[in-house]
Chains A and B, each alone.
Chain A
Amino acid sequence: MIGLVVAGGASVAVGSVASAEPSSAPYAQQLTAEDGELLFRANCASCHGLQAQGTENGPSLIGVGAASVDFQVMTGRMPMAFQGPQAEKRDPQFTQEQTDAMSAYIAALAPGPGVPDDEWLDASQVDDEGIARGGALFRINCAMCHNVAGAGGALTEGKWAPALRDIEPVHVYEAMLTGPQNMPVFNDANISPEEKREIIAYLAYLDENPSVGGFDLGSLGPVSEGLFIWIFGLGGIVAVSVWLTSRPN
């Protein structure tokens, strides 16, 4: 335990939590909320405060719930690498166990949305009609930021909605539940757990069936299509005609 904390403490220096040598930790048994508190103090308190009450570098985490911590840490957004318009995604810096411990600690401070049950993450329970409903929900609730094909899009002030390719179902669910940063919260009254599962199934469908009509040019729509036809289509054909006319008769 001490080793763990020291490893974490040494890396509080913002931006480089030397992944706290997670795998080398010899503690096979369940980490507890107290372990979570220690991990939090070592890695997160510089910005979020020792009691998670928030500082000028980071918001209060009281009441954000386990789901938020799990999402932020396991997608590698937290600990935040550097101050920017939006926390960047990286490889996760903690193991699932350590994250669970921190989640437990934050959840113990005040109630908040919890990590979803596996039942709501299982896309195989959704039939074709459910996928279709998920698609419709996605287009209505998410496409204005994430693009219909989930290719991502620009938001104001240098922020952006990321592409939604190959995201873990649990993170999709947690994103909807907690509304990270500029994303709105979709609580269970807005989109029920069944519907969230349908959205997850729809995204999974897109991942598994990438592009029916051939290479998708980044799913960026008419912009990539236009550039393609100018550069490769017309460019290629003009190159051929230069070659054709360069032959002596």
Chain B
Amino acid sequence: MTATTARPSLTAKASNYLDERTSMSTLVATLGRKVFPDHWSFMLGEIILYSFVAILLSGTFLTFFFEPSMTEVFYDGSYAPLKGLAMSAAYASALDISFDIRGGLLMRQLHHWSALLFIAAIGLHMLRVFFTGAFRKPREINWVVGFILFILALAEGFTGYSLPDDLLSGNGLAIINGMVKGIPIVGTWISYLLFGGVFPGDDIVPRLFVLHIMLLPALVIAFIGIHLVLMVINKHTQFAGPGKTNDNVVGAPIMPLFAAKAGSFFFIVFGALVAIASTFTILPLWEYGPYDPSPVSAGTQPDWYIGFADGALRLMPGWESEILGWTVSWNILIPIAVLGLFIVLAMVYPFIEQWITGDKREHHIAERPRNNPTRTAIGAAGVWFYAIMWAAASSDLIATHFRLNVFHVTYALQAMLIVGTVIVYWLTKRIAIGLQKKDREILLHGYESGRIVRRPGGEFVEVHQPLDEYEAWKLKAYESYAPVMVRPNAKGKITPATHLRAALTRWFFEDRVSPVTPRELEVAKQHDDH
């Protein structure tokens, strides 16, 4: 078909019209050639994006009907067990959404489930990036951007959790109120400011609402934009393999293959969420009843992503002391400090690692976790630390379900938090090094085939089967580090920082398995050929 004979189609005309006015084709062509590697872990980001779309759509629906106000009303909707009770307009409208507005309950559940999935997928995505070292230069900034997104997502989640003004969300705010008041001297004032008077006040729901639907979503969208632009600029990392090097990206280009795949993946994620939302209830807020500062329910928990903070409070022994007439609540201050430190360290980790290792090269190959035992061990210990705090948020349920004493559960978790983290660090490092040694063996001498042969001399040997090229590539792609030496700086001085850094690199790289050199491989080959 030649262009001269065929009349331009409508689409062609429309695209031409657009292109002449926006010059979009260059952009589409460039973006269209962006390549996505074929590995499932690279699709986590998409799950995040698609569940965010589900959140935006269902959330928009909810804003049509939700009334962000703490004015007292008497419920007159169709849920019998709450009829005639005094409650805030916010809670009443959340009940109306659930019972009296068509599709409202589905939308509410879709919104909440999508939020849980959104943050869960963010968590897994961050773990993938961390454990494959994909945050290394040139992607450090994008790690920080992503981390800010994570914090924003937590904030979105928490503000959303607090909006319906049911007993559960009120309990959550009561804890926040307690934490704020635990700050010495200014705590009480900040609490007054936040709640517009004595807790719970009349202002918190409208305030959180503005954050929840305006400021935070705008920030999330802006940061997602930055995150994606940086991703396009930096390109994806990829696992090493034949033809996959530090200088290229192998995979499917966005147009047309990846777009088609991603499009259908969007519907899979969205469909799964709707299926969950229509079959499983989430936050049955009619059971919780309106917020009232006096009742507290057994099993009051925050949503999972805030669990670690709740758990930290539960694990902290109830220390308090009085200094010059002021009560200092260590039981609140210490957890806040520990969590704050944990979060900041995780956020700036790429820079810490870079400083310690002195590695300023660009990296585009995703590292296999075993090939960087110290980082993997730090990560595993961090995951453990987080997971134990998370588990602690459900210490009461652990106790009832396994028929244990809730105090014993708490003591056990405290021990696991402190001792366990160290053990996990050590164990992970050993395991990673062990796996590296195994890889080295396999690369040099091949797999144990399980076939025993007898040599003419009577000696028994097991035949080792050499690796094929494809497999070997994966194992060979491994760079080694050596501890940075203590060197005088430009002024010829050795600063304490240099010493510290040398000590830290030793910690990082002292125990290591050096990669197989080509020479070694050669020798091993000849050996096998006999």
Q: Chain A interface (Cβ within 8 Å of chain B)?
A: 85, 128-129, 131-132, 134-136, 139-140, 143-149, 151-158, 160-161, 202, 205-206, 211-217, 219-223, 225-230, 232-234, 236-238, 240-242, 244-246, 249
Interface residue SS majority, chain B: helix
A46 to chain B, nearest CB (A): 25
B122 to chain A, nearest CB (A): 10
Q: Could you list 6 examples of A-B contacts with CB < 8 Å? A: A157-B407, A214-B109, A221-B300, A222-B168, A249-B38, A249-B252
A229 touches B113 (CB 8 A): yes
Measured between beta carbons, the chain B residues less than 8 angstroms from A221 are 168, 299-301
Given A136-B85, A214-B278, residue A226 in contact with residue B303 (CB < 8 A): yes
Interface string of B119-157 (1 = CB under 8 A from A): 011001000000000000000000000000000000000
Given A131-B80, A214-B278, residue A144 in contact with residue B297 (CB < 8 A): yes
Partner of A226, one of B168, B272, B304: B304
CA distance A59 to B165 in the complex (A): 44
A229 touches B304 (CB 8 A): yes
Given contacts A157-B407, A205-B80, 20 further A-B contacts (CB under 8 A): A144-B296, A148-B297, A153-B297, A154-B395, A154-B397, A154-B406, A213-B109, A213-B281, A221-B299, A222-B301, A222-B304, A225-B283, A226-B307, A233-B116, A233-B120, A234-B47, A237-B47, A238-B47, A242-B40, A245-B39
Across chains A and B, the number of contacting residue pairs, with CB separation under 8 Å, is 208
**Does B489 make an interface contact (CB < 8 A)?**
no
Partner of B299, one of A151, A211, A229, A241: A151
Partner of A244, one of B43, B113, B116, B288: B43
B257 touches A249 (CB 8 A): yes
Interface string of B32-56 (1 = CB under 8 A from A): 0000001110111011000000000
Among residues of B, the one whose C-beta sits closest to the C-beta of A202 is B81
CA distance A152 to B399 in the complex (A): 12
CA distance A136 to B431 in the complex (A): 55
Measured between beta carbons, the chain A residues less than 8 angstroms from B38 are 245, 249
Among residues of A, the one whose C-beta sits closest to the C-beta of B172 is A222
A140 touches B294 (CB 8 A): yes
B499 to chain A, nearest CB (A): 44
A128 touches B80 (CB 8 A): yes
Partner of A139, one of B42, B295, B405, B406: B295
User: For residues 45 through 84 of chain B, which have their beta carbon under 8 Å from a beta carbon of chain A?
Assistant: 46-47, 75, 80-84
A106 to chain B, nearest CB (A): 30
Measured between beta carbons, the chain B residues less than 8 angstroms from A144 are 295-298
B292 touches A140 (CB 8 A): yes
B300 touches A214 (CB 8 A): no
A211 touches B295 (CB 8 A): no
Measured between beta carbons, the chain B residues less than 8 angstroms from A214 are 109, 278-281
B146 to chain A, nearest CB (A): 17
B289 touches A135 (CB 8 A): yes
Given A135-B289, A151-B299, A223-B397, residue A128 in contact with residue B98 (CB < 8 A): no
Measured between beta carbons, the chain A residues less than 8 angstroms from B105 are 212-213
**Does B287 make an interface contact (CB < 8 A)?**
yes
